[in-house]
Amino acid sequence: MGLEQDKRKGVERLRKELDFLKANGVINLRVMAGAEGSGMINGVMRVSPPLQPEQGKFNENILDGLDLVLSEMGKRNMKAVIFFSNNWEWSGGFQQYLIWNNQVSDSMKTRKLTWDEQRDIVSQFYSCEPCKENYNKQVNLILNRINKYSKKKYTEDSAVMAWELANEPRPMRPVANNAYKKWISDVAAIIKAKDKNHLVTIGHEGYMGTEDIKLYEEINADKNLDYLTIHIWAKNWGWFKDDKVAEGFPNVIEKAVNYIDRHLAVAEKLNKPLVIEEFGLPRDR
C-alpha cells in the first residue's frame, strides 16, 4: 500500500487500516522487510515487488513502502516486528538464495516440490556461504536505512519493537542442525552489533519447526536473542481431520495447551518471554 500511486488505495487506505487496528487494541504488527526474486517458485507466484530482484542487487525504492508504514505506526504509538527473510517460498526466501547459487536444478525452480524435496533443498541454505552472505547484505541494508518520512534511522526508531531473523526458519533436515544453530547465533550477533536499541528473536514455530525441543532450547539460549516465539497451525499440523473442525476441536484445545506449556517451560528455564506469534484455525462457517 505504501508504494501504491493512487492515494485512495495507498496511503489513505493504509492510514485508515492503522486507525482501525489502533481503535480495536491492535498495536503490534509483524511486517516483512522484503521479498527476494520474482515470478513463480515452487509452483506458486510469490509476493511482489521484490526488494532484492537479483542476488546482491537491491531496489531500495521498495523500502519507501516500509518507511511509510513505520512512520505512520510511529505517529500512532504502534510497534513493528520486522522479519528479514523466509523459510518458505512465497516471498522467495531461502529457496531463492539457493536458486541464485545453483543449488537447485532447473526442473525444481517452478514446479511444485514434494515435501521431502523442499526439506532437502532448504536445509542446504545454512551451509551455502554465498547464500548467507547475500542474506546478510539484505539485513545490513535494512539496518542501515534512514526513514525518508520520519528521518529516523531504523536502528533508532521507536516504531520498531524487534527484528526477526526470518519467518519460521527450520533446519528442515537433522543433518543441517549444527549449521542451523551457528547461523542463528551468527545473525543474531550481527544484528545486535548494529542495533542495541531493539529486541531480536528468531521468528520460530517451536518444536514443530525443529522436531526437537532440546534444539529449540539451545538456539533460544543465545545471549543475543531476547525472547522466544511459537506459532500454532492446528489444521496444517493435522490436529483435526479434513474440515471437521467442530468434531476435532477438543483435540485442538488439548494439543494447543500442551504445545504452549511445553514451550513455556523452556522460556521459564531460559528466563525469557514467550510470544504466541501466529495462530491459525479455519472458521468452520
Instruction: Give the total residue count for the chain.
Output: 285
C-alpha cell at 200: 531480536
Average pLDDT, the chain: 95
**Predicted local confidence at residue 73, as pLDDT:** 98
Mean pLDDT (whole number) for 70-74:
98
Measured CA distances, 257 to 3, 193, 213, 268, 275 (Å): 41, 36, 16, 16, 14
Q: Which of 254, 259, 256, 249 is nearest to 282 (CA)?
A: 249
Measured CA distances, 283 to 43, 54, 160, 280 (Å): 27, 39, 32, 9
pLDDT tens, residue by residue, 128-158? 999 999 999 999 999 999 999 999 999 999 9
Mean pLDDT (whole number) for 241-258:
91
At the fourth CATH level, the homologous superfamily of domain 11-206 is Glycosidases (3.20.20.80)
Q: Which residues pair with 228 in a beta bridge?
A: 274
pLDDT tens, residue by residue, 20-59? 999 999 999 999 999 999 988 888 899 999 999 999 999 9
Are the beta carbons of 50 and 36 closer than 8 angstroms? yes
Are the beta carbons of 86 and 31 closer than 8 angstroms? no
**Predicted local confidence at residue 285, as pLDDT:** 65
Cα 271 from Cα 36, distance rounded (Å)? 35
**CATH code 3.20.20.80 region(s) in the chain:** 11-206
Measured CA distances, 165 to 18, 19, 190, 211, 285 (Å): 25, 28, 11, 19, 36
